[in-house]
Structure 1
């Protein structure tokens, strides 16, 4: 399979600054790929700093792994590598928080997908998501680390109530906000024709998943698909930053 990626991060229709960060890397032969989305929080410039520190830390740890010889890759545990990257991000944000009282509440969501061979290894903290899109149907591979998700699962509220919950964006996990950091890992088999889509909640809160397939089918390329998803969010006056990274497997 050949892996190809496109991505974009946009301020959105309301916010004055963009505290999301996207990053990705594909090996020269198109056989391995790394995708990253981080959505910062904390006011001032804290969110922007936290998300950048997180994305940079992941790339620092994971890109050398991506370019390892296949024999060496076979000796490592993907979850261990991803956990090392997240721990580095967490440590760096916690250290930076100590340097400036205006940064004391900063942190970030972080979702990372490492595609190697026929498997996508996914790790996340927060409510930025990773979706598998197969045969036009999006399936979310991550669970939102939010108070609202906990309430949904314990039956306190139902789906119809979510939009009216005033604290629906309150996170139960975030990088740089807890020590030790708790993570969720997932390994997903992938095949030719699949797509992986990583995004911040600026997309999921503004563009229903049911519309994604139409947008993707009408797009002539990954780049145009990503732009069309962003435009759809802007048309709906997305109240948050909007970030999308899309990988196709050919």
Structure 2
């Protein structure tokens, strides 16, 4: 399948997002996107560690497209292993203290697309001219919204709107959320950092994804540009995967 990765530092001095697409020995695609947390270069290191290590580990596996349960268990174990590595590095080196990262990932299987996430980087699906948010943000305001204690409008200006309730780089085990969607109900997968979803509405995303005359690269470029145009202040990263295209087995990374 075809894929496109685009990233931009936005109004930040550096880019702490990192994304990659990897294929295992059986040709199964894993896409991973992380948004680093922490000052100076620490966030960069955490996000690159998570994507690179999980992606490199995936390339050595031989799961088949029917191994949904095995893939989910592998991801849970591997993500927790990277959580421990990031925490250990942050605890060992003073310049990395407090570093962490969000994570969102997808694996395309025979009957399903498997999604996993920690933090507020998101996964969407596009199908039949409609967009669906698959993942749930692990953030303070999102959890209040889900409980009905905060409206969407209040969440936009809440003083604690950037606080996460879950991320990689913490002591002990981290809970990983998993979601599945039937592959025949998915045309395009979109993974993105919050720099995109905080600046671009779902209506604007849909208008871009619906344009049949644009390539996948053009769509991802337009999504990033729309976030910049809308005064997005954070790093902006988007990964698009067209599940209907002919397989193109190569490993890609975008920093």
Tell me whether the two structures share a fold, i.e. TM-score over 0.5: yes
Task: Measure the CA separation in 2 of the matches of 1:154 and 1:230.
Answer: 31
State the Cα RMSD in Å. 2.0
Task: Measure the CA separation in 2 of the matches of 1:100 and 1:69.
Answer: 36
Q: How far 1:164 sits from its partner (Å)?
A: 0.9
Task: Measure the CA separation in 2 of the matches of 1:193 and 1:123.
Answer: 16
Q: How far 1:99 sits from its partner (Å)?
A: 2.2
Runs of 5+ in structure 2 lacking a partner?
245-255
Q: What is the total number of aligned residue pairs between the two structures?
A: 243
Task: Measure the CA separation in 1 of the matches of 2:170 and 2:63.
Answer: 35
Task: Give the SS at the match of 1:226.
Answer: helix
Q: How far 1:153 sits from its partner (Å)?
A: 1.9
Task: Measure the CA separation in 2 of the matches of 1:182 and 1:120.
Answer: 20
Query: Could you tell me which residue of structure 1 aligns to residue 152 of structure 2?
Result: 159
8 Å CA contact 1:61–1:84 kept in 2: the answer is no
What is the TM-score when the length of structure 1 is the normalising length?
A: 0.91
Task: Give the SS at the match of 1:98.
Answer: helix
1:1-250 mapped onto 2 (5 Å cutoff): 3-12=1-10, 14-26=11-23, 32-65=28-61, 68=62, 70=64, 74=67, 77-191=70-184, 194-218=187-211, 220-250=214-244
Task: Give the SS at the match of 1:168.
Answer: coil
Q: How far 1:185 sits from its partner (Å)?
A: 1.0
8 Å CA contact 1:191–1:249 kept in 2: the answer is no
Q: How far 1:112 sits from its partner (Å)?
A: 0.8
Q: CA 1:164/1:25 → structure 2, altered by over 3 Å: closer, same or farther?
A: same
What is the TM-score when the length of structure 2 is the normalising length?
A: 0.89
Task: Measure the CA separation in 2 of the matches of 1:42 and 1:193.
Answer: 35
Query: Could you tell me which residue of structure 1 aligns to residue 248 of structure 2?
Result: none
